[in-house]
Every structure is written in C-alpha cells, then in structure tokens.
Structure 1
Amino acid sequence: MIKKILQRFYLVLIFVLLYAPIVTLMVLSFNKSKTRSKWGGFTTKWYVELFKNEQIMNALYTTLIIALLSALIATIIGTAAAIGIQAMHRKFRTTMMGVTNIPMLNADIVTGISLMLLFIAFRFSLGFSTILLAHITFNIPYVILSVMPKLKQTNVSTYEAALDLGASPVYAFFKVVFPDILPGVSSGFLLAFTMSLDDFIITHFTKGPGVDTLSTKIYSEVRKGIKPEMYALSTILFLSVLLLLILVNIAPDEKPDKHKAVTARSIRRHKAGRFLLRKVVPVMMALVVIVGGFFYGSKAATGGDNQVIVYNWGEYMDPETITMFEKETGIEVVYEEYETNEIMYPKIQSGAIAYDVVCPSDYMIQRMIENDLLAEIDFDNIPNIRNIGDTYMDQSRQFDPENKYSVPYCWGTVGILYNKTMVDEPIDSWSVLWDEKYKDNILMQDSVRDAFGVTLKYLGYSLNSTDLDELEAAKKLLIKQKPLVQAYVIDQVRDKMIGNEAAIGVIYSGEAIYTQWENPNLEYVIPKEGSNVWIDSWVIPKNAKHKENAEKFINFICRPDIAKMNFDYITYSTPNEAGRQLIEDPALRNSPIAFPDPEELANCETFKFLGDENDALYNELWREVKSK
C-alpha cells in the first residue's frame, strides 16, 4: 500500500515539475494585464494580437523554415556520409566516427563563434543563408549517429544478390537497403529538426539584421519583458505538438494481424494514423517551406538596395511607426534589436554587419566617437532636429562635444521606486538602500555602472569616478548592503514591484511610469544626492551603406507625431518638445517622473566612457561584490 502511494506521489511530482511551467505560461496567455505579477482578468486578445504582430510571425516562419530545410538537407548529406563511412575499412571507420562526434561534444558557443568567423573571413553576408548553413553543419553528425546503427544491421548479401539479379545500384539501394535503414533516417531527421528548432547560441552568432528565430526573438525581449503574445504562441505550439502526438499514437505501429479479430474502430484508427503520417504531415511541411520561400522571395524582391538597417534596443519603438516610414518613403526597414550597449558595441566594432542607424547610450556614443566608429551626420537632411529641445542638445555635448554624431531619441533618470503601503516614511535619499529594516525587501540593479553609480553618489562622489580610494569605499558599501538585498535584477524590478514582492527598488524612470499604471501605491523619487540622467541617441556607423536613408529615418523619428507615438508606446521621456506638446493627458505631459524639474536634476550626471582600463577595474570590483 505504502509502495503504491509513493509511486503515485513520485509520478505526480514528475508531472508537476514537467508541466507546471507550461500551465503557468498558458494561464498567462489569457491574462489581460501585461505583467505576470497581476491578474487583470480573462482575455483572448493576445491570441488576436499574435497574428497581427509581424515580427513574431516572421520569427515563427523563419524558425520552421530553417528547421525543415536544415533537417532535410542534413538528413540527405548525413545518410550519404553514413553509407560512405560504413563502407570504409574498420580502422578508418573508427577514426571517421571519432571526427564526426567532435562537433556534438563541442560547446555550442565555440561552434557558433567559429562559424561566424568563417563566414566573415569568406565575406558572407550574415543572414538567413548563414543560419541555414550553420544548422545544416551541426545537424549532420546527429543524422550520421542515427543512421549508422541501422546500417550495421543490414545484410550486405541481400544487396549484392539484387545486383546479381540485374538491379542497378540505385534501384537495389532504394528497394533493399533504404527500407532497412529508414527508421534510422527518420529518427535522424526528427532529431535534426528538433535540434534546429531549439537552437539559440549558434543562431545568435550567425544571424544577420532583420532575421530572427523564436529563440533569438525571445532573447531580445528579455530586457523589456516577454510580450504576452509570446505566451499565446507558446501555448499554441505546445497544444499543436500534443495534438500531433495523440494523432500519431492512435495508429498501431503495424497493420492489424489478419489472424486476430479486428474491429472497425481499430481499422479506422490505423487508416487515420497512416493518412496523417504519410499525407497530412508531409503536406504541412511542404506548405511551410513554400509559403516561407514565397515570403523571403518577395522580401528580397521588394527590398533591394533601397533600405535602411536599424539596430535598436528591444521594445524601444512603436512598430507602427516603422510601417508608416516604409509607406511614406518606399524605403524598407530591416530592424534588429539588442539587449545592452555591451552586446551592441562588438558588432559595430567588428564591421561584420553594416548597420545604418544605431541607438546607443551616452557613454557608449563617446566610446564609439573616440574609436572612430561613427560618421558625421548631415543635419541639412534632418530639418526636424529643430523639434529637439536645446536642453537635450546641450546635455549631449557631454559625450558628443560638437553635436556632430548624434541626435537625442529618449532620456530619463535612475531613481528609487517604493511601495507606500510597505514604507512608512517619505524617501528622498539613497541611504534607504542600506536601512536594515527593509532587509530582503530591496531590489538593486544588476549592472556594474548603475550599482556603483548609486553608491558613489550616496558617498558624495561622482558616478564617473576613477579614484581607487573612492571606488574601494563604494565596493565595501555594496558588500555591506548585500545581506539586505532581496535580488539583483534588471527588468524584473518592474514585475516584482507591481506584484508587491519588494518594498524598494532601483529603477529607470520610464519603467516607473508603467509600474504606477499597474500599481498606484508605487512612488518614484530622484534622491537628493543626485543620480544618473541618461540619453539614448541615434548615430550612423562609419561603414553604413545607406547613409542618406539613415538620415531620412532619423528625420522621420524626430517628427512630432512620431515622437509622441513612440513615447506612448515605450513611456520613456522624449526630448522632442513639439512631440511632448501632443501628449493629450496633462498629467502625463507634465509628469514629474517623465519630465522632472531642472532643480531635481541639479546633482545628476551623465555616464561617461572611462576607458578600457577603468572599465576592467569596475568589472573586477563588481565581481568581488557579487562573489561575497
């Protein structure tokens, strides 16, 4: 009795561990609120929005097409290679199998970087074709591994007998050998398809602008939070796979035994299963490839050289504005997203991809200027720059001294977000982050410059300090604070604060506006010691191939109505004064969070690039903090 109870408990536990995350995701797909921390009521709108979201649907098409094509091609090549290896002398066969197994044992990141460098060396343009080649490459060994055991089981004498009876080698192979190895070929295809469908790392290193798979698309959204549309898509994919498995399993593996009693139901199940496997699934795969091929072919035909390649933060622009720009100008926008300045910079520095427009932050723009990576902007082509406030153009001189390389896009501050129901005092200082009564209720930014910037300002120093004594003092204070911190987070601070999971969090002002919409008990403040005021600006890399189109794009973004649309979408402060006047809600137009008074910014500074040596020093000190 006890044994049965334990067995059932173990089975239930396994199912909970396997399917609880999936069930959670499915529930969130019906949550009216965008945040996972708050149930806003039942809705199906995310399923409707999913099919309207061009970026997600493109990523889905790309994922399926890459997986199908790479699996098919890898299966053909891998099967042929397995036959060749099997025909070798035993010594050479062992050596070849060892060489074949190396890619499977190799770390994905090594394979991804190696393939990227190979493509760059041979001047391949990173994009759909390089992802496909990469996937075929890493799939072939898995096909060989699946086919080889079946080849070893085949009877060579049967093949030779077929040849003796006058069959051609090709005919004999397909009639004698191929049926025997078909299970291995099928499993090799399915394994290759699964590996390709699930890959992220190799795709990440070999993809080009405007090409995303579901894995890279989801990764690019992590900084701003996963869209509910992704929950809906994941639910549909899970249910589709579940349905397919059910249908496949309704058919017996073999035909009904004529010597055994059979029922009409079993015959129907067998016929349905055979029809599904032999007709429906192949037709669906063919349709995906054909539709995807038509999609990519039409994109290539309409795109041509009249395009602009944009590299921007995730979820940092209203997609509708891109559609409007394409309709008004006839210029195709190839849009790609990144997560941090530090991920963006190496791509620009390497020159592997010629982006036309990029949106870095202040200190990174300074670094790019110092390393001669940016082209001067022809402001005669950007008349709408007059809409950018003089205050922001002057502030930009801190990282672009002559205002020759950048045009401000968004700005904001870093401050403290606190829950008025959990904090019984007004907050106006960074000191609260070291108050022991808020132990395990404090959220810190998991960012070296933000964490040290906060601490340096609290100590009365510059957040751009390179003084060893000042940095050492900041490090010791961060280590002292660590037992009080609930978690080091980036965008998770938003959901945690909305869900009342913490009392205090360090947050960006644009995120603070959204959190207040979801939870009115939250209050944002810029501490009296001062903070970071940041600016993200548009720049044009020196190797841009469509500079004139890039300037047209920047000019379009500086248009008042477009600036207002982007503000509504991302809730980060706009430096576009004319766009700000178009904001209908006076409370939002004059929000002290989005547009604080100049007095509140008196002690604020903009991050500067401190040089590679000082960057390394900051990172080393941050590692010491995190390791304690």
Structure 2
Amino acid sequence: MIRKSLQKLYLALIFIILYAPIVTLMVLSFNESRTRAKWGGFTLKWYKELFQNEQIMSAFYTTLVISLVAAAVATLIGTAAAIAIQGMKHRWRTFYMGVTNIPMMNAEIVMGVSLMLLFIAVGMKMGFGTILIAHITFNIPYVILSVMPKLKQTNRHVYEAAMDLGASPLEAFFKVVFPDIVPGVLSGFMLAFTMSLDDFVITHFTKGPGIDTLSTKIYTEVRKGIKPEIYALSTIMFVTVLVLLILINYSPEENEETKTRKKRVKRPSKIKKILLRRVIPVAICAVFLFGGFYYAQESSLVNSKKVVVYNWGEYLDPEVLTMFEEETGIDVVYEEFETNEILYPKISSGAIAYDVICPSDYMIQRMIKNDLLAEINFDNIPNIKNIGKEYMDQSRQFDPENKYSVPYCWGTVGILYNKTMVDEPVTSWSILWDEKYKDNILMQDSVRDTFGVTLKYLGYSLNSTDLDELTKARDLLIKQKPLVQAYVIDQVRDKMIGNEAAIGVIYSGEAIYTQKENPDLEYVVPKEGSNIWIDSWVIPKNAENKENGEKFINFLCRPDIALKNFEYITYSTPNTEARKMIEDESIRNSKIAFPDLSKYDNLETFQYLGTEADQTYGELWNQVKSH
C-alpha cells in the first residue's frame, strides 16, 4: 500500500515538474496585468493583440511555409538517396550511411555556422532562400534514416518480377516497392517537418533581415522582455499539440466482433481516405501556392525602393517607420539587436547588407578603424542642423571628423533602485556588492557595461587595458555573482517595474520610463562616476541603398519626428529643437534625461581598445559567466 502511494506521489511530482511551468504560462496569458508579479483580472486581450501582431503572424506563416516546403523537398531527395544507398554494395552502403549520419551527430551550431560561411562564400544573400536550403540540408539525413529500415524489409525479387511481367522500372517501383515503404516516407516527412518547425540555431545563422520564423521571433522578443502575447502564443501552440495528440491516440471502445473484422480487413476509414487523398494534399498545395506568391512579392522588393535598418530593441517608435514609408514611398525592412557585440560580427562578415545601423560610440570607432563604414553625404541630411553642437563635438571622441555618424540618443549608466526595498541612500556602486540585497540585484548582460561599472567602483578608467586592473574587476564580479538575480538587458526595466528586484544597473532612458510606471523607483549616477554614451546612425560600407539610408536618417532628425520618438522610447534626444517642443516641463528639464554635464567630472565615453583588449575582456567576461 505504502509502495503504491509512493509510486503515485512520485508520478505526481514528475507531472508537476513537467507541467507546472506550462500551466503558469497559460494562466499568465489571461492576466490583465503585463507584470507577472500581480493578477490584474481575467482578459483575452493578449490573444487579440497576438492575432493583430503582424510580425508574429508573419513569422508563423514563414515557419509553416518553410517547414512544409523543406519537409517535402527533403522527403523527395532523402527517399531517392535511401533507395540509391540500399542498392549499393555493403561496403559502400556502410560508408554512405556513416557520412549521412554525421550531420545528425554534429552540434547544430556547427551546421549553422558552416552553412552561413558557405552562403557568404558563394555570394548568396541571407533570406528566405538560405533558410529553406539550410532546412532541406539538415532534414535529408532524417528522411534517409526513416526510409532505410522499410527498404531493408522489401523483397528485391518482387520488384524484378514486376518488370519481368512487363512493368516499367518507374511503374514497378510505385506499384510494388513504394506501397511497402510509405510508412517510412511519411515518418520521414513528419520528422523533417517537426525538426524544421522547431529549429532555431541553424535558422538564426542563415536568416537575413526582415524575415523571422517563430523560434527566432520568440527569441528576439524574450531577449527584450517577455510580453503577454508570447504567453498567448505559447498557450495556443501547447493546446494545439495536445489536441492533435489526443485525436491521434484516441481509440473508441470496440467489441470483439469489430476487432475480429478489422483483423481480417484492414481498410482505412472514410475520414482517413478524405484526409490523405484530398484535404492534406490540397492544404499543402495551397500553402505552396500562396507561400510562393507571398515570397515572390517580398522578393520583388529587392528591385524596389527600400531601406534595411538594424537597430536596438524597442529603440524606435513603430509609427515613425509607418510615417516614413507613407511620406517617402520607401519600404523599411527593420531588424533589432541586443548588444554591440552581437551587431559587430554581422557587419564585419558582410553576410547581410544593412543600409542603416545604430551602434554605440566605441563600436563606431571600431568600425571606422576596420573600414566598415561609408562616409555620409550630409547634403542628403539637411536636418543635421537640429542636432546640438555639443553632441556633435562629443561624437568627435569616436568619429574625429564627424564624417560617419549622426547622433541619435545619448545618456548615462546608473543605478535604479526601489525606495520601498532599499532603506538607505544610494550614492555608490558599492551597493551592488551588499549581501543584504542578495537575489535582488540585476546586472547588465554586456561585457563593457558590467566591467565599466566595476572598474569605476575600483577607481579605474572604464577604458582600462591594464591586466591587473581588469583581473581585479573580474574577481570582484565573481565575488558578486552569488548576489545577482540575473544578467539581463532590456528585462531590467520590466523586472524593476514589477518589483521583482531591488536594484538594477540601467540606462538613463529606461529609468525615465520605469519611473512613469512605478513611482517607487529612483535613478542615480554613483559618485565614483559612470559611462556617458551616444548611439548614432551610421551607414555600412556594403549598404545597397545608401541614399535611402540617408533619407531615413534625415527623417529621424526632423524635430517633430525626434520628439515623437523621444516620447516613445524616453531616451535623451540630441535634437535641441525637439527638446524645446517637449510640453512637460518636468521632462524637458529632467536631470535624468538632460543632466547638466558640467556637474560631472568623472563621466567617460567608451573607447575602442583594440582587438587584443577585446579578447582579454571577452575571456575575463566568460570566466565570470561560467564561474
């Protein structure tokens, strides 16, 4: 009795561990409040917003088309390959099966990077086509693996007998061999479809601007902070899979007579016949047809007016993009990144031709040094006159002749703290090492920002290249790690608003937004000093629509547009005319948004420190993260 009870308890615990997170996610999808910290009442609005979210729905459709097409093509090629391999002599069959198994045994990241380098080498533009080719490539081995066992069970002599009786090789195959291997072919198709539907790593390395699958889209959204729409999407996906599994595995009770009759004659039901012969083929053809039409339309943009923009997450008002498209007739292909370190490899590899990007100061300096940026034709940017002279002068620290960049946003890095959770004045970075706030501290998941904070706390320059100083900073970060709740980027904002942490390192622009949402939050630049940064628009040297990129930058420098953008992202604007138009005097004169820099003598701008220093920082940061 006790043993059975323990078994049931053990089983219950397993189910709780497996499904409690999913149930929590489903409950949150109906929560009126955006924050996970409180229940705001039942609502269906996140589902409504999900279906109104064009980006997510586009990603869903892209995923469906790629998965079906990749699975179909991989099944065709894989089945043919399996037949060819089966017809070989034992030695060669063993060799080719071994070669076929290598992609399945390899890490996905190896396959992803390899395919990306191949596409770059042959000059293919990253996009829908490269994702499709990549998915077909990694799916073929799975199809071969599914079909081979069925081929081994077939009798070769039956095929030969069919030809002896007058059938052509093709006719003999489809009438004699194919019916026997259909289960393997269908299994291969379903396996390929599932693998393609679920893939993230290979897709991430082979996709281009303006195209996302569900996996890459969800990843991008989660990096910026989990939105309720993602809860709704995940709930729908889970329920759909659950219903399909129930339908597939459902079997009504049958009496002995029915079972005996089914044993004698195994005929597919009428519903299955309709599904297999009509519904599924028609559905696949419809997806192919509309998918082909849709992506043909999308690809036609290559020869039309467009601009490809690569910007930080949630760093531009979507309405501004719409206004630009309506006023200029130029289509905007818009992508987002999370850190400068993610941005740089994409630009340096030349795999994707972006027209406008928005790096930070030190990264611009690095790109200029490595000849990755094009000089801007300021004749196409007359609105540059609206950018304050002090910001253009500050830009000379990383763009000495002001030839490559146009300031977009600026600010400081400081501490955001919750006054109800922190009962002492916050004036120093030292509070980030206070054990009293264990599991309530949020740090930036960025090597330069995190080391910069630590170096300033130690009294060093945040541009230090001294190994002893950097080692001390690393040791201090390792010591701090048990106190840190999480290393995050944009999620600092949501967690602090939701009272999920007491202290967080944050950019001043985010601090302004969080204070609007949660009046208990306060922002301070510590006495040891900090980073003053400028993010600027630049144009990569391989841009294909440089003039359109300059039009885009000019549009953003227009005072009314800069004001609209500031009100959306709350990051300080260098556009002096836009600042004059801010109606709220408390914001216009905010010490957070527009601090008096003359009162700070220990603020520094990040500088590019060279390849060797970058490697040192990277190695030390990895040691911190892996400790």
Shorter-chain TM-score bucket reads: over 0.9
> One-letter code of the match for 1:189?
F
CA displacement at 1:452 relative to structure 2: 2.1
Q: Quick one: distance in 1 between partners of 2:269 and 2:176?
A: 26
Shift of residue 176 of structure 1?
1.7
Q: Is the 8 A contact 1:37 1:495 kept in 2?
A: no
**Contact in 1 for aligned 2:51/2:57 (Cα 8 Å):** yes
Q: What amino acid is aligned across from residue 423 of structure 2 in structure 1?
A: D
Partner of 1:156: 156
Contact 1:303–1:332 (Cα < 8 Å) also in 2: no
Provide the C-alpha distance between the structure 2 equivalents of 1:571 and 1:544, rounded to a whole number of angstroms.
29
CA apart distance, 1:219 = 2.4
Partner AA of 1:461 in structure 2? Y
**Residue matched to 1:132:** 132
TM-score (structure 1 length as normaliser) = 0.92
Residue 189 (structure 1) shift: 0.3
CA distance in structure 1 between the partners assigned to 2:599 and 2:63 by the alignment: 48
| Aligned residue number for residue 143 of structure 1 | 143
Question: 2:54, 2:103 → 1: CA distance?
Answer: 35
Show the counterpart of 2:30: 30
Using structure 2 for the length normalisation, give the TM-score.
0.92
Q: Cα offset for 1:210?
A: 1.5
Q: 1: CA distance between counterparts of 2:16 and 2:592?
A: 43
Please state how far the C-alpha of 1:464 moved relative to its aligned partner: 1.3
Which AA in structure 1 matches 2:315? Y
The residue correspondences of 1:173-572 to structure 2 (distance < 5 A) are 173-250=173-250, 270-272=269-271, 274-276=273-275, 278-572=277-571
How many angstroms does 1:227 deviate by?
A: 3.1
Matches within 5 A, 1:599-614: 599=598, 601-614=600-613
Deviations 1:249-270 (A, max 9, x none): 44689999767589xxxxxx95
Q: Which secondary structure state, in structure 1, belongs to the residue aligned with residue 605 of structure 2?
A: coil
Equivalent residues of 2:355, 2:544 under 8 A apart: yes
**Correspondence for 2:265:** none
Q: Shift of residue 389 of structure 1?
A: 2.3
Shift, 1:222, TM fit: 3.6
Alpha-carbon deviation of 1:94? 1.2
Q: Which residue of 2 aligns with 1:265?
A: none
Task: For 1:323, give the aligned amino acid.
Answer: T
Deviating more after overlay: 75-84 vs 228-237 = 228-237
Q: Which amino acid aligns with 1:144?
A: I
Secondary structure of 2:116's partner?
A: helix
Question: Residue deviations 1:423-460, cap 9 Å, x none?
Answer: 11221222222334334433332332222211222233
* Counterpart Cα distance in 2 of 1:175 and 1:251: 31
* 1:626–1:258 CA distance, 2 compared to 1 (3 A): closer
* Separation (CA, whole Å) in 2 of partners of 1:562 and 1:255: 73
- Give the distance between the partners of 1:158 and 1:256, measured in 2 at CA: 36
The answer to whether the 8 Å contact 1:127/1:207 transfers is: yes
Amino acid at match of 2:312: W
Q: Say which SS state the counterpart of residue 130 (structure 2) adopts.
A: helix
Partner of 2:63: 63
Instruction: Spell out, residue by residue over 1:40-96, the C-alpha distance to the aligned partner (whole angstroms, 9 max, x if none).
Output: 433322222223322222211211111100000000010111111111112211111
Using the TM superposition, give the Cα deviation of residue 118 of structure 1 relative to its aligned residue in structure 2, in angstroms. Answer: 1.4
Pick closer, same or farther for the CA change 1:466–1:66 going to 2, 3 Å. same
Checking the alignment, whether the CA contact within 8 Å between 1:130 and 1:207 is kept in structure 2 is yes
Q: Distance in 2 between matches of 1:157 and 1:303?
A: 54
Name the SS of the counterpart of 1:349 in structure 2: helix
CA drift of 1:501 comes to 3.4
Q: 1:319 and 1:495, CA in 2 relative to 1: closer, same or farther beyond 3 A?
A: closer
- In the aligned structure 2, how far is the partner of 1:368 from the partner of 1:302? 28
- Partner of 2:333, secondary structure, is strand
Shift of the alpha carbon at 1:483? 4.5
Compared with structure 1, are the counterparts of its residues 448 and 300 closer, same or farther at alpha carbon in structure 2 (3 Å cutoff)? Answer: closer
User: 1:4 — aligned with what?
Assistant: 4
Deviation at 1:234, TM superposition (A): 2.2
CA, structure 1 residues 473+240, in 2 after alignment: closer, same or farther (shift >3 Å)?
closer
> Which digits, 9 at most, give the CA deviation of each residue in 1:548-572, with x for residues without a partner?
1110111112222322333333332
Give the number of aligned pairs.
623
What is the identity, as a one-letter code, of the residue corresponding to 2:241? V
Aligned residue number for residue 15 of structure 1: 15
CA separation of 1:169 and 1:255: change in aligned 2, threshold 3 A: farther
Mean Cα displacement is larger for which, 271-280 or 230-239? 271-280
- Distance in 2 of aligned mates of 1:59 and 1:120: 24
Q: Distance in 2 between matches of 1:440 and 1:413?
A: 25
Is this contact kept in 2: 1:251–1:271, CA < 8 A?
no
Q: What's 1:106 paired with? A: 106
Could you give the per-residue CA deviations for residues 171-198 of structure 1, whole angstroms, max 9, x where no partner exists? 2222221111111101100100111111
CA pair 588-51 structure 1, distance change in 2 beyond 3 A:
farther
How far did residue 126 of structure 1 move?
1.6
Give the distance between the partners of 2:561 and 2:280, measured in 1 at CA.
45
TM-aligned CA distance change 1:386 to 1:252, over 3 Å: farther
| Residue number in structure 2 paired with 1:97 | 97
More deviation in 360-369 or 167-176?
Answer: 167-176
User: 1:626: how far off?
Assistant: 4.5
DSSP-derived class of the 1:417 partner: strand
Deviation, 1:154, is: 1.4
Is the alpha carbon distance of 1:63 and 1:528 closer, same or farther for their aligned partners in structure 2, counting shifts above 3 Å? same
Q: Which moved more, 1:497-506 or 1:110-119?
A: 497-506
Distance in 2 separating the partners of 1:509 and 1:217: 27
Matches of 1:38 and 1:575 in 2, distance apart? 37
**Once the two structures are superposed, what CA deviation does each residue of 1:264-313 show, in whole Å capped at 9, x if it has no partner?**
xxxxx954455445544443333333222222122223552422111122
CA contact (8 A) 2:339 2:446 kept: no
**Equivalents in 2 of 1:250, 1:627: separation in Å?**
47
Q: Match for 1:536: what amino acid? A: D
Please, which runs of 5 or more residues in structure 1 have no aligned partner?
Answer: 263-268
How far apart, CA to CA, are the structure 2 residues paired with 1:135 and 1:616?
33
2-side partners of 1:609 and 1:274: how far apart? 66
- Kindly indicate whether the alpha-carbon contact (under 8 Å) linking 2:200 and 2:215 is maintained by their aligned counterparts in 1: yes
CA RMSD of aligned residues (A): 2.7
Query: Distance between the aligned counterparts of 1:568 and 1:256, measured in 2?
Result: 73
For structure 1, which segment, 391-400 or 470-479, has the greater mean C-alpha deviation from structure 2 after superposition?
470-479
Task: State the shift of 1:136 in Å.
Answer: 0.6
Specify the code of the residue in structure 2 equivalent to 1:156. R
Q: Distance in 2 between matches of 1:285 and 1:475?
A: 55
Instruction: Report the alpha carbon displacement of residue 522 of structure 1 after superposing the two structures with TM.
Output: 1.6
Q: Does structure 1 retain, via aligned residues, the 8 Å contact 2:444–2:487?
A: yes
Given the superposition, is the C-alpha separation of residues 135 and 477 from structure 1 closer, same or farther in structure 2, using an over 3 Å criterion?
Answer: closer
| 1:270–1:552 Cα change, 3 Å | same
Q: Is the contact made by 1:255 and 1:270 (CA closer than 8 Å) also made in structure 2?
A: no
Q: SS state of the match for residue 549, structure 2? A: helix
Q: Is the 8 A contact 1:59 1:213 kept in 2?
A: yes
Please give the alpha-carbon distance, in whole angstroms, between the structure 1 residues aligned to 2:253 and 2:618: 59
Whether the 8 Å contact between 2:338 and 2:489 is mirrored in structure 1 is no
Note closer, same or farther for the CA distance 1:316–1:278 as it changes in structure 2 (3 Å cut).
Answer: farther
Show structure 2 runs of 5+ residues with no match.
263-267
Distance 2:238 2:276 in 1: 19
Q: Which amino acid aligns with 2:360?
A: S
SS state of the match for residue 532, structure 1?
A: strand
Q: Distance in 1 between matches of 2:183 and 2:257?
A: 21
